[in-house]
Amino acid sequence: MGTEYAPARAMAPTKLAYFDDMWALRSTATVVSLVQQDGGRRAVVLHSTVFYPQGGGQPADTGVISSGGARFLVEDVRMKDGVVFHYGRFEDVGDGCNSEFSEGQSVNLEVDAERRNLNSRLHSAGHLLDICISNIGLSHVEPGKGHHFPDGPFVEYKGGIPPDQLQDKKNKLEKEANELISKGAKVLACILPYEEATQLCGGALPSYISKGSTPRIVKFGDHPGGPCGGTHVADISNINNIKVTNIRVKKGLIKVSYNVSP
Ligand SMILES: [Zn+2]
């Protein structure tokens, strides 16, 4: 039976800098704790972070946290009870001993821009398909799960499409998405009171958003917005191109597989 890691003391939630400014890839922060987990995995906890923790169908950022001669290579980022854990390892500085951080130290954060950019494009592409699916006459389908990972991204909808229409819908969906990309539209992300958020999302919010809460809403141009905690491109023209690779209907779920060009 494995022992589960329990922090010695409860840590305050990490400030999610990407919530307010999802295009900032560098920042400074203060070290709250250095955590050693079962199996020897290390984690750095900071008071705030520009790193995106895996969630909402989007993979974690990678990058570097550094201070003085110490460099911590961030390989994975996860959030638990509001606390963001940057997992990775200290770079060997070559003299046989690794330089590390201490609690309260100020450190520099730098997110891997190339990886983040691809993840943001894939996430925005998923949201754009939600808009397009209703534009091509499938407004009755209900958005479900989204998987915006480079390894086989897809979006799912509850509903159906007659088999003889699948190819036509696939072509129309791809055409509509690329038309909207070529027109472009600014992407807005903000935290709003429930009523205001409802208005921005076309008059209704999903039932998992509790009344009285202040959800974060992501909105493309004049299209209805939706609740989302992820990162996105600044303008949908930055998605560049969407390829709808497959549409499959199984057990009342429409699975739309897609990709973006490199
Ligand atoms: Zn999203």
Residues flanking ion ligand 1, Cβ below 5 Å: 228, 230
Tell me, what's the pLDDT at 6? Answer: 47
Residue 10 placed within a domain: no
Same domain assignment for residues 189 and 234: yes
Q: Is the pLDDT of residue 246 over 60?
A: yes
CA–centroid distance, residue 57 to ligand 1 (Å):
7
Q: Is the pLDDT of residue 192 over 90?
A: yes
Same domain assignment for residues 83 and 60: yes
Sign, CA dihedral 81-82-88-93, equals negative
CA–centroid distance, residue 81 to ligand 1 (Å):
20
Residue 206 placed within a domain: yes
Q: Which two tokens stand for residue 4?
A: 């589960």
> In terms of DSSP H, where are the helices of the chain?
17-20, 113-135, 166-183, 194-200
Same domain assignment for residues 192 and 87: no
Same domain assignment for residues 229 and 102: no
Residue with tokens 């509001």: 82
Same domain assignment for residues 74 and 96: yes
Q: Which two tokens stand for residue 96?
A: 């046989």
Same domain assignment for residues 198 and 236: yes
Measuring CA to CA, which residue among 61, 57, 64, 51 is closest to residue 16?
51
Q: Which helix (H) or strand (E) holds 38?
A: none
Of 99 and 164, more confident? 164
Same domain assignment for residues 239 and 125: yes
CA–centroid distance, residue 72 to ligand 1 (Å):
29
Three-state DSSP state, 39? helix
Residue 9 placed within a domain: no
Q: Residue 58 and residue 48: Cα distance in Å, rounded?
A: 20
Residue 3 placed within a domain: no
Three-state DSSP state, 236? helix
Which of 64, 84, 111 finishes a domain? 111
CATH number for 177: 3.30.980.10
CA–centroid distance, residue 13 to ligand 1 (Å):
21
User: What's the mean pLDDT when you consider all of the chain?
Assistant: 92
CA–centroid distance, residue 148 to ligand 1 (Å):
9
Of 194 and 41, more confident? 194
Same domain assignment for residues 183 and 137: yes
* HSE value, Cβ hemisphere, 13 Å, CA-based, for 141: 26
CA–centroid distance, residue 108 to ligand 1 (Å):
27
Residue 247 placed within a domain: yes
pLDDT exceeding 70 applies to what percent of the chain?
A: 94
CA–centroid distance, residue 123 to ligand 1 (Å):
6
Q: Residue 185 and residue 128: Cα distance in Å, rounded?
A: 11
Which of 61, 93, 111 finishes a domain? 111
Same domain assignment for residues 163 and 199: yes
Q: Residue 187 and residue 196: Cα distance in Å, rounded?
A: 17
| C-alpha distances in Å from residue 207, one per residue of 115, 198, 204, 217, 227 | 32, 11, 9, 15, 11
Same domain assignment for residues 238 and 150: yes
Tell me, what's the pLDDT at 46? Answer: 98
pLDDT in tens, 158-181: 999 999 999 999 999 999 999 999
Tell me, what's the pLDDT at 244? Answer: 98
Domain that holds residue 100: 15-111
Judge contact between 43 and 101, C-beta under 8 A.
no
Q: Which two tokens stand for residue 234?
A: 């600044």
Tell me, what's the pLDDT at 97? Answer: 58
Residue 7 placed within a domain: no
CA–centroid distance, residue 43 to ligand 1 (Å):
26
Q: Which two tokens stand for residue 202?
A: 């076309």
Same domain assignment for residues 232 and 156: yes
pLDDT in tens, 8-20: 468 899 999 998 8
Q: Is the pLDDT of residue 93 over 80?
A: no
CATH number for 67: 2.40.30.130
Residue 184 placed within a domain: yes
Judge contact between 137 and 250, C-beta under 8 A.
no
Q: Residue 175 and residue 187: Cα distance in Å, rounded?
A: 21
Range scoring the smallest mean pLDDT among 20-34, 133-147, 243-257: 133-147
For the chain, what is the domain count? 2
Confidence of residue 129 (pLDDT cuts 50, 70, 90): very high
Same domain assignment for residues 167 and 188: yes
CA–centroid distance, residue 163 to ligand 1 (Å):
28
Residue 5 placed within a domain: no
Which of 58, 80, 111 finishes a domain? 111
CA–centroid distance, residue 195 to ligand 1 (Å):
20
